[in-house]
Copies of this chain bind each other. A is one copy, B any other.
């Protein structure tokens, strides 16, 4: 029998971790005093956990989910897109139309020991604020990284 792979192992963020990340994001949002929507998706980009802070703009609900989706579905933080597009006109005028793809800050892959397990997306402020909220949530991951 040849060496044959029937299935690929993957890891997906647990609800327990997603919940800790939501709580950290919420605390940062309260500190900033801006009502954010916060979305966490699993590795294939499906919704895992979500909070809309009281007063979050209606428009932020979908943008937060799309940022989390974009980050997990391409394993790239959303703020890293523009630098790769700006000198490539076909992409700059083309790929930005991809449904659910967000190319501005506020979406990050979630990784443990450099392995992708999901994505987080935040919307509600300028993307520089949204990024701060994501980064506060990503701090949670450090406690779970193995030392090598």
- Tell me, yes or no, whether A108 is within 8 Å of chain B by CB: no
**Secondary structure at chain A's binding surface: helix, strand, loop or mixed?**
mixed
Contact of A11 among B8, B13, B79 (CB under 8 A): B8
Contact indicator per residue, chain A 1-34, by CB within 8 Å of chain B (1) or not (0) = 1001111111111111111000000100000000
Residues of B within 8 A of A51 (CB): 15, 18-19, 48-49
Q: When chains A and B are docked, how far (Å) is the Cα of A26 from the Cα of B51?
A: 15
- Interface size, chain A (Cβ < 8 Å): 68
- Tell me, yes or no, whether A62 is within 8 Å of chain B by CB: yes
Contact of A5 among B14, B89, B90, B99 (CB under 8 A): B14
Q: When chains A and B are docked, how far (Å) is the Cα of A102 from the Cα of B12?
A: 27
Q: Are A99 and B7 in contact (CB under 8 A)?
A: no
- Tell me, yes or no, whether A105 is within 8 Å of chain B by CB: yes
A interface residues, Cβ below 8 angstroms from B: 1, 4-19, 26, 42, 44-55, 57-59, 61-63, 70, 72-75, 79, 81-82, 85-86, 89-99, 101-105, 112, 117, 127, 143-144
